[in-house]
């Protein structure tokens, strides 16, 4: 205010002095110089300001602005990586990752073009209404999946529509060529390629690769203009070779399904394990599901019953009762027990046998599967002795296979067993076990008393430990062989050319505090009995047919599967004389034809000389066998 | 004096050359990176193809299928015990 007043007051003075040119000139000169100075000074300051700003941009805040700039065009994008392949022990693929494309959208961009929705919905193969709902739900976001796991060709067609804000991203989907035959062991992955069940879950870290990252330059429309730099390379997942043999798995699945169907059973489980290494060669559970299209979500079908389900095993436990009786030295295989009259009373409970077996030896208790005999055996032992043997054979604890959700079963502490509890445990009630535990326990019997740890990985064996005297183990094997004879409970488990040891079990299924009329039919077998290679557990739950005994329902599966399995695995027969005897009894052999086989023999394979037909075989011990073998030739 | 000027000229030239070299190296890097990406894509495509072929093979070699062809089409059968001769070396 003040300055404007003075200016106003000076102004009229200048007008009153027009006739003073020198003064005017001086004023001009001064004003020019000051003006120049002013302008020069101003420009200098402006230049300084520019420099200061430049310094500010280039040095002081450089990181911030560089980052902001990069954010607008540089992008770090992930490089998808594959999950490792799962193969069987012979390298056959069981789970393979195949590439698929997932279509994603930037809703903020896409919602600006509602006119393309019908075209987009059509190309995506989703109902238009669903697409609109989905977009509404994600409004304001910058990322949403429109459809995941499309086959690459259809996905390309969607992207080719050129709709702004639509992108595709490579992902991998798991494919299981064996489908429901293999589903319980392998499990499956979720949509994000993480293992959810089975081996896929147990070995998730091993199978999962490490996704890489690269820097790219992106234009205004989000297209990648140029790859700039590799931040980290993608590391693909490692392959995993399982101990499973695909051929055995298939064979087991086929025969078990057949048995379940024929006996109108509600579920079934079968496990084949290598006796010496603990490698699981096949594991089948029914009902099964197709891991490639998991439409029905019945959890009961997804369970790997062989590892997770516990059941009272019934008579198959008698082997371990006898093992502890032999170990404690109170009986020999030939000790006699009177099981008359086929039942006995103990602490107010009655223990029954199927028939009255009369006088039985220890071996006979196993052959005939006598509950009374097993109970009488148990009464001669302390519960600590029995518990110790059961515990050493791995009951009541997980097997250590590493399978997710594996159960340890229930083995009550031995100090607290009552008289009747001891007797019932002796024939397999009051304890709960898994199929894998049974396979492991029986494998130890066939493996000279050495307990192995089951494994699903090829060559994944860990050191075995001795749990039983080898002599007792071989005595038990001889006893088990008597079961698979016409006198025993499982003649149908026999395999031509091989000696088989095994044990049947028929357990009433406990439910609601009592025992129902539902049965579990079991058979566990070891083959070849002279030097066991394979152990197989078969459990068939709730057979509703005319028969339910383990020897009639489960044992035939063993015979059929092992017939193929032993051939596939090239296990040499240990009972050749039976082979020839069988051939001799088959009417199909043309009688009177002296050498029916000779013409069929390939030139390189000589028929054994007639005089000593099968004598060179070390397994032949009976001189009569040579005679038996002769007609076959 | 003259020596000093020569040093400066030399340094300027060196700085120029170094600048160009940086640009060249960067360009080379990008080109190589693009090439690497291309090769990686090719590798991935081959891997994918390999996976597909493995799947195809697994499907063709499926036990059920082999068994059906063997028994149905080719009239093959597992030999009975009487048809087998055990030979020992």
Instruction: Report pLDDT digits (tens) over A594-626.
Output: 333 333 333 333 333 333 333 333 333 333 333
Q: How far apart are the first and last CA of chain A?
A: 136
Instruction: Report pLDDT digits (tens) over B39-79.
Output: 988 987 888 788 888 888 888 888 788 888 999 999 998 77
Name which of A119, A117, A129, A173 is nearest A150 in CA terms.
A173
Cis preceding-peptide flag for A341 (omega within 30 of 0): yes
**pLDDT reported for residue A576:** 77
Q: Beta-strand (E) ranges in A349-400?
A: 349-352, 359-361
Flag if A497 and B51 touch (Cβ within 8 Å).
Answer: no
Instruction: Name which of A250, A589, A606 is nearest B63 (Cβ-Cβ).
Output: A250
Mean pLDDT of A176-190: 88
Cα–Cα distance measured from residue A288 to residue A306, given in angstroms and rounded to the nearest whole number: 12
DSSP A169-189: EEEEEEE-TTGGGTHHHH--B
Instruction: Report pLDDT digits (tens) over A331-341.
Output: 888 888 888 88
Q: How far is A558 from chain B (nearest CA, A)?
A: 18
Name which of A401, A383, A463 is nearest A437 in CA terms.
A401
Instruction: Report pLDDT digits (tens) over A222-257.
Output: 666 667 777 888 888 889 999 999 989 999 999 999
Per-residue pLDDT at A49 exceeds 90 = yes
Flag if A175 and B81 touch (Cβ within 8 Å).
Answer: no
Instruction: Report pLDDT digits (tens) over A444-464.
Output: 999 999 999 999 999 888 888
3-state secondary structure A68-109: HHHHHHEEEEEECCCCCCEECCCCCEEEEEEEEEEEEECHHH
Mean pLDDT of A156-183: 83
Instruction: Name which of A96, A583, A614 is nearest B82 (Cβ-Cβ).
Output: A583
Q: Is the separation of the CB atoms in A181 and A142 below 8 Å? A: no
In the structure, how many helices (H) and strands (E) does chain B have? 2, 0
Nearest CA in chain A to B27: A228
What percent of chain A clears pLDDT 70, i.e. is strictly above it? 84
3-state secondary structure of A341: coil
DSSP A598: G
Chain B residues with beta carbon closer than 8 angstroms to that of A633: 85
Tell how strand A86-87 and strand A240-241 pair up. Answer: parallel
Name which of A444, A521, A510 is nearest A256 in CA terms.
A521
Nearest CA in chain B to A583: B82
Q: Is the separation of the CB atoms in A423 and A346 below 8 Å? A: yes
Q: Which domains does chain A have, with CATH numbers?
A: 76-106+136-241 (3.90.1310.10), 246-288+310-584+595-609 (3.40.710.10)
Cα–Cα distance measured from residue A442 to residue A440, given in angstroms and rounded to the nearest whole number: 6
Q: Does A588 touch chain B (CB under 8 A)?
A: yes
Flag if A597 and B63 touch (Cβ within 8 Å).
Answer: no
H or E element that contains A376: helix A371-379
pTM: 0.75
Name which of A505, A338, A518 is nearest A428 in CA terms.
A505
ipTM > 0.90? Answer: no
- The helix-helix angle for A117-124 and A128-137 (nearest 10°) equals 110
Per-residue pLDDT at B35 exceeds 60 = yes
Flag if B82 and A589 touch (Cβ within 8 Å).
Answer: yes
Flag if A586 and B33 touch (Cβ within 8 Å).
Answer: no
The residue whose two tokens read 């890097």 is B29
Higher-confidence residue: A29 or A523? A523
Instruction: Report pLDDT digits (tens) over A98-145.
Output: 888 888 888 777 777 778 888 888 888 888 888 888 888 877 777 888
Reading the block at residue A434, the tokens are 């898994």
Chain A stretch 74-113, residues whose beta carbon is closer than 8 A to a beta carbon of chain B = 82, 85, 92-93, 96-99
Tell how strand A450-451 and strand A465-466 pair up. Answer: antiparallel
Name which of A165, A167, A166, A171 is nearest A151 in CA terms.
A171
3-state secondary structure of A335: coil
> What is the band of A214 on the pLDDT scale with cuts at 50, 70, 90?
confident
Nearest CA in chain A to B80: A583
Active site residues of A: 315
Indicate the average pLDDT of chain A.
81
Reading the block at residue A62, the tokens are 């450089």
Name which of A219, A80, A105 is nearest A161 in CA terms.
A105
Higher-confidence residue: A8 or A87? A87
Flag if A227 and B37 touch (Cβ within 8 Å).
Answer: yes
Cα distances (Å, whole numbers) of residue A359 to A341, A494, B21, B24: 10, 26, 101, 99
Instruction: Report pLDDT digits (tens) over A359-389.
Output: 889 999 989 888 899 998 998 888 888 999 9
Q: Is the separation of the CB atoms in A420 and A430 below 8 Å? A: no
Burial A445-460 (b: 16+ CB within 10 A, else e): bbbbbbbbbbbbbbeb
Nearest CA in chain A to B54: A93
Q: Which of A74, A83, A177 to mutate to test the interface with B (most CBs of B within 10 A)?
A: A177
Higher-confidence residue: A577 or A188? A188
DSSP A487: T
Flag if B81 and A582 touch (Cβ within 8 Å).
Answer: yes
Nearest CA in chain B to A495: B81
Q: How far is A247 from chain B (nearest CA, A)?
A: 7
Chain A stretch 236-275, residues whose beta carbon is closer than 8 A to a beta carbon of chain B = 246-247, 250-251, 254
Flag if B51 and A97 touch (Cβ within 8 Å).
Answer: yes
For chain B, state the CA radius of gyration. 35
Instruction: Name which of B33, B82, B88 is nearest A230 (Cβ-Cβ).
Output: B33
Name which of A473, A449, A469, A453 is nearest A461 in CA terms.
A453
Mean pLDDT of B9-35: 91
Instruction: Report pLDDT digits (tens) over A272-326.
Output: 999 999 999 999 998 888 888 877 667 777 888 888 888 899 899 999 999 999 9
Flag if B34 and A226 touch (Cβ within 8 Å).
Answer: yes
């Amino acid at each position: 205010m003040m300055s404007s007043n003075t200016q106003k007051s000076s102004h009229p003075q200048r007008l009153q002095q027009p006739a003073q040119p020198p003064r005017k000139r001086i004023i001009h000169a001064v004003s020019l110089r000051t003006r120049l100075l002013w302008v020069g000074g101003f420009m200098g300051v402006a230049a300084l300001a520019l420099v200061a700003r430049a310094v500010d941009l280039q040095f002081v805040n450089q990181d911030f602005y560089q980052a902001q700039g990069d954010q607008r065009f540089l992008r770090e994008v992930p490089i998808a990586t594959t999950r490792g392949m799962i193969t069987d022990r012979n390298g056959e693929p069981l789970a393979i990752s195949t590439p698929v494309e997932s279509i994603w959208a930037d809703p903020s961009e896409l919602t600006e073009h509602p006119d393309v929705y019908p075209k987009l919905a059509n190309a995506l193969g989703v109902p238009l209404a669903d697409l609109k709902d989905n977009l509404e739900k994600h409004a304001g976001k910058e990322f949403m999946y429109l459809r995941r796991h499309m086959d690459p060709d259809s996905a390309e067609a969607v992207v080719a529509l050129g709709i702004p804000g639509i992108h595709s991203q490579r992902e991998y989907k798991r494919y299981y060529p064996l489908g429901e035959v293999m589903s319980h062991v392998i499990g499956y992955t979720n949509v994000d390629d993480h293992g959810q069940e089975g081996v896929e879950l147990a070995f998730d870290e091993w199978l999962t690769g490490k996704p890489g990252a690269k820097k790219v330059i992106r234009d205004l429309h989000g297209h990648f203009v140029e790859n700039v730099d590799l931040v980290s390379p993608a590391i693909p997942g490692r392959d995993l070779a399982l101990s499973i043999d695909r051929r055995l798995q298939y064979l087991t699945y086929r025969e078990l399904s057949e048995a379940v169907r024929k006996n109108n059973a509600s579920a079934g489980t079968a496990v084949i394990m290598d006796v010496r290494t603990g490698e699981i060669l096949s594991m089948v559970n029914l009902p099964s599901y197709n891991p490639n299209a998991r439409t029905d979500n019945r959890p009961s079908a997804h369970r790997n019953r062989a590892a997770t389900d516990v059941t009272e095993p019934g008579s198959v436990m008698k082997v371990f009762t006898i093992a502890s009786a032999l170990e404690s030295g109170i009986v020999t295989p030939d000790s006699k027990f009177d099981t008359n009259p086929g039942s006995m009373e103990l602490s107010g409970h009655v223990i029954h046998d199927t028939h009255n077996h009369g006088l039985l030896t220890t071996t006979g208790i196993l052959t005939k599967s006598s509950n009374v005999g097993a109970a009488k055996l148990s009464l001669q032992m302390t519960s600590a002795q029995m518990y110790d043997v059961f515990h050493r054979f791995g009951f009541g604890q997980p097997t250590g296979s590493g399978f997710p959700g594996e159960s340890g079963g229930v083995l009550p502490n031995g100090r607290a067993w009552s008289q009747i509890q001891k007797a019932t445990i002796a024939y397999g009630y009051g304890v709960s076990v898994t199929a894998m535990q049974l396979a492991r326990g029986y494998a130890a019997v066939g493996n000279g008393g050495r307990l192995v740890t089951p494994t699903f990985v090829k060559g994944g064996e860990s050191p075995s430990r001795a749990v039983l005297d080898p002599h007792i183990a071989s005595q038990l094997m001889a006893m088990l062989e008597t079961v698979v004879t016409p006198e025993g409970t499982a003649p149908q488990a026999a395999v031509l050319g091989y000696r088989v040891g095994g044990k049947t079990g028929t357990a009433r299924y406990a439910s609601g505090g009592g025992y129902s009329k539902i049965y579990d039919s079991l058979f566990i077998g070891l083959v070849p009995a002279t030097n066991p290679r394979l152990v197989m557990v078969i459990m068939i739950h709730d057979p509703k047919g005319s028969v339910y005994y383990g020897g009639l329902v489960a044992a035939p599966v063993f015979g059929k599967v092992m017939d193929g399995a032993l051939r596939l695995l090239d296990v040499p027969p240990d009972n050749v004389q039976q082979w020839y005897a069988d051939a001799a009894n088959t009417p199909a052999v043309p009688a009177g034809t002296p050498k029916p086989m000779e013409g069929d023999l390939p030139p390189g394979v000589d028929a054994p000389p007639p005089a000593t037909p099968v004598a060179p075989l070390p397994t032949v011990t009976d001189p009569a066998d040579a005679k038996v073998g002769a007609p076959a030739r | 004096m003259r020596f000093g000027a020569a040093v400066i000229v030399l340094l300027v030239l060196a700085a120029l050359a170094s600048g160009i070299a940086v640009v060249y190296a960067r360009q080379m890097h990008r080109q190589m990176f693009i090439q690497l990406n291309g090769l990686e894509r090719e590798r991935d495509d081959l891997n994918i193809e390999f996976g597909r072929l493995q799947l195809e093979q697994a499907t063709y070699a499926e036990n059920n299928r082999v068994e059906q062809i063997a028994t149905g089409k080719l009239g093959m059968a597992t030999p009975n015990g009487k048809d087998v001769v055990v030979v020992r070396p």
